[in-house]
Structure 1
Amino acid sequence: MAMRLRTLLGDHPGTSALKKGALKSDLAAFDFVDYSPTNKGFKPMVRERSFDVSEMAIVTYLMAKSFGKPMVLLPNVVVARSQHAFALYNSKQGTLEPADLNGKRVGIRSFTTTTGAWLRGILANDYGVDLDSIDWVTFEDAHVAEFRDTTKRAPAGKQIVQMLIDGELDAVLGEKAEHPNLKPLFADAAAEEKVWFAKRQVMPINHMVVVGRDLSDKHPDVVREVHRLLAGSAKASPAAPHFSAGEMRRSLELITQYTAQQGLIPRAYAVDELFDDVTRTLI
């Protein structure tokens, strides 16, 4: 009989076939749990081990690993995207470019979001921004309870985009919004993304999939089957992120370096350290 797995997976092109039941297995059956947005489920997974299989922001996973949380990464990417378009400033306050951010007030939902880590890495390593000079304003805690967040918390009830519109922030990361005064921090995001990709040869990974360590230790055949089904579901959609082993490794290596640079983890793990003896063979 198939093992029933309590599972958190968002509605993505690469998860659609699996969630609709188009793929069958004698080893694994999924009881899907809905969170909207999906990232609301990451905290209970990290803090309470609420799921057997879970979508997971890669920076949250890196931080969870640094605190010894019993989770194992699978080499299945479910969300990946270029990041440059997710940064805004208020043009009513004057023109602002990436290199102008030193000393500015910058809002971000949580300092530990994966999009935020990618953007800060890009700003620091490609535009010379001193991240320590920025007055960071945040709105939520980290998913990992043990992480000590030293950023300034926005006043209760304040909304990040509205604070930017009202001139209480100079820029925000991790957001898109339609407003006549809000402009992209990267003036031609699409062009700058192309230049960055040509330089780095990396498509930024946002979310992958993790399983509980107990599941991997006691039922490696089930974990291998979960990977197979996720890969089959991704293959069924041209719109799903498709990474070769080398592409995935480059992306994981870079985000791990950025996450360590920003003090979110104590050191940059080698990519192979992110997997266990079962999942490493699946790459």
Structure 2
Amino acid sequence: MKPLFTMACQAYDRMEPLRSGSVPIGGAELNFLDLPVEETFFRMLKFGEFDIAEMSLSTYVLTLAEGSPFVAVPVFPSRAFRHSAVYVREDSPVTDPAELAGGTVGVPEYQITAAVWVRGILAEHHGLGVGSVRYRTGGLDTPGRVEKLALRLPAGVEVTPAGPEQTLSRMLLDGSLDAIYSARNPGPFNEPGHGGLRRLFPDPEAVEREYHERTGIFPIMHTLVIRRDVYERHRWLARELVKACARAKDAGLAGIGETAALRFALPWLWAEAERTRAALGEDWWPYGFEPNRTNLETFLRYSHEQGLAARRYEAEELFAPETLAEVVV
């Protein structure tokens, strides 16, 4: 009888074949739980409920300092460019990131991956030093969100929680914040006319495309982790999981540019697929270590520079060693 593993991960197109069972994991049965990412992160980090789970790259890196209860594999279910994740009021005089210096910025949690990328990109490429703004943390549209992990930040980085009844969206609208860095749109932004908010970059797609052309980076947000006790009992699982996820990605993205009968309900998705291939290459969502080395090294540098990671980790330290080794036949 094959061992059964429970995996919690959002059912993205690149993961759907694992959920449906059309792509199996060699030697294993899979119980796939399609959960929102915040729920998966919380339950895995606090209670270790799953054998395999999607996890914030930043959160995983922070667990390494105390001897992580997880082991990652180089599979990246979520990636996103993040110039589009900076929001200001519609009437804000700020038109350039450097103009936020001296201001106050809201982030759901200081350590979330999206915020690490935004701070790093704005510091390295747009002249806004990480310590040049103050940070307020809390729920974007629902009060009460707190950091999942205790942080030991260096002097010069000011991070304070919002009040128990405050939300970042409301604080931005009432002038308590000058900007928000958020992976999700603030609630008001989804309203007609964007609810009095705008993105800081007027054409973020153009800025993000230029960033990729210059750096080669399509930022990694999440990785897959195996609970360490499961990994130590089933070392073979790490490599088989990577192989299965690669097959699932290929199957899930097949037909994305089809024109005869649209697989997805977007009329010009074929054109976007062609533009994406032209800009990012045939494998624009790579798994594995070497194709993502620069991406990972940049993130690890940002995490350390921002006072989050205990030291500047080598990218190889993140993953099960057998997933880094080449199989020679």
Residue 207 (structure 1) shift: 1.0
- With normalisation by structure 1, the TM-score equals 0.91
| Bigger mean CA deviation after superposition, 118-127 or 38-47 | 38-47
Which sections of structure 2, spanning at least 5 residues, go unmatched? 139-144, 257-282
Q: Deviations over 1:170-224 (max 9, x none)?
A: 1000142232521111222111112211221111001110112222222122232
Q: Deviations over 1:230-260 (max 9, x none)?
A: 1111111226962164331111111111111
CA contact (8 A) 2:106 2:168 kept: yes
Does 2:295 correspond to 1:280? no
- The equivalent of 1:147 in structure 2 is 151
Residue 34 (structure 1) shift: 4.4
Q: Deviations over 1:53-74 (max 9, x none)?
A: 0101111111111221221111
Distance verdict in 2 for CA 1:26–1:231, change over 3 Å: closer
In 2, Cα distance between equivalents of 1:135 and 1:25? 46
Q: Deviations over 1:101-132 (max 9, x none)?
A: 11111001111111100000011111111221
In 2, Cα distance between equivalents of 1:157 and 1:30? 41
Q: SS in structure 1 opposite 2:249?
A: helix
Q: Deviations over 1:68-106 (max 9, x none)?
A: 122111111111111111111013243342111111110
- The equivalent of 2:214 in structure 1 is 199
CA contact (8 A) 2:6 2:31 kept: yes
> What number of residue pairs does the alignment pair up?
281
Within 5 A, what are the aligned runs for 1:53-92? Answer: 53-92=52-91
The AA in structure 1 aligned to 2:16 is S
In 2, Cα distance between equivalents of 1:98 and 1:193? 14
Distance verdict in 2 for CA 1:138–1:209, change over 3 Å: same
In 1, Cα distance between equivalents of 2:25 and 2:200? 47
Structure number with greater Rg is 2
Q: SS in structure 2 opposite 1:27?
A: coil
- The equivalent of 1:188 in structure 2 is 203
In 1, Cα distance between equivalents of 2:110 and 2:25? 39
Distance verdict in 2 for CA 1:57–1:282, change over 3 Å: farther
Q: SS in structure 2 opposite 1:2?
A: coil
- With normalisation by structure 2, the TM-score equals 0.79
The AA in structure 1 aligned to 2:148 is H
Say which structure, 1 or 2, has more relative contact order (CA 8 Å, 6+ apart): 1
Distance verdict in 2 for CA 1:34–1:235, change over 3 Å: closer
Q: Deviations over 1:22-61 (max 9, x none)?
A: 12356212223343x2222213322322211010111111
CA contact (8 A) 1:7 1:52 kept: yes
Question: What is the percent sequence identity of the aligned residues?
Answer: 27
Within 5 A, what are the aligned runs for 1:134-173? Answer: 134-139=133-138, 140-144=145-149, 146-148=150-152, 151-173=159-181
Does 2:49 correspond to 1:50? yes
- The equivalent of 1:229 in structure 2 is 244
The AA in structure 2 aligned to 1:222 is L
Distance verdict in 2 for CA 1:241–1:5, change over 3 Å: farther
In 1, Cα distance between equivalents of 2:290 and 2:26? 31
In 2, Cα distance between equivalents of 1:117 and 1:57? 11
- The equivalent of 1:253 in structure 2 is 297
Distance verdict in 2 for CA 1:241–1:211, change over 3 Å: farther
Q: SS in structure 1 opposite 2:31?
A: strand
Distance verdict in 2 for CA 1:134–1:220, change over 3 Å: same
The AA in structure 1 aligned to 2:27 is L
